[in-house]
Structure 1
Amino acid sequence: MLSSPSPPRLSIVQTFARKEFLPLIPDRVWLLEKGLVRTLSWNSEGRVTTFGIWGRGDVVGLPLSRLSPYQVECLTPVVVTEILPDDQSSFLYDALLKHLWYSQELFDIVQKTSVSRCVF
């Protein structure tokens, strides 16, 4: 299990309502203090793909994605702390590991679903 990084210094705490989108800033990430968000993108036909559901203790933001378009939508009322660039290294390390593990789990689910369709 990952240890929690120490609290960020001089960070900005903000609240967002359900259905609002977190502002995406190229060099900033958000630490989720309360609530749930989803990361998402869509294709040229408008088909939305959810890439993750994130909650308390997770880190989300533009530096963690190469997708375009990319948004972080609040599924519930959310409280977040903006992590400034000088404080990001420990948060990003933990976030990258969580995102990697989540991607692997998702890939495993997709693969099992694809295999079961071929068999049946």
Structure 2
Amino acid sequence: MSSQSTPINLVSVNTVPERAKKVIGTVIENVKDKYDIVHAGNSTTIEGVKPLLESIQPPPKILFCASMWTPEQQEEIQKIARDTIPGIKTQATPTGLQAQGGPEGVIKYLMERIDDIMTEK
């Protein structure tokens, strides 16, 4: 099954949904010639991650964790994702990157990693 046949659902965990939509929307736009990715939802809380993942069909294949979470919170979010959807790919943006580099810094960080995320087994 090629990645082009079915859109890949991606979810984010970000306390500022508008920012998540903008940043992830830019990444998706930048890779649309290679990957068919849909930003299927965002959770603003750690508690909301599991219900969000369970509510999306087909299940998300990627979870992006924003930089406002501490490393411990990011690990918890990623564990919830892996426990809820075995095989989901997770990416945690380094804590504080948004504050240091702004949205452009986060977009650059994700763009440098998107191929690895998409081809990861």
Q: Same fold (TM over 0.5)?
A: no
Higher helix share: 2
Higher relative contact order (CA 8 A, sep 6+): 1
Higher strand share: 1
TM-score norm. by structure 1 comes to: 0.30
TM-score norm. by structure 2 comes to: 0.30
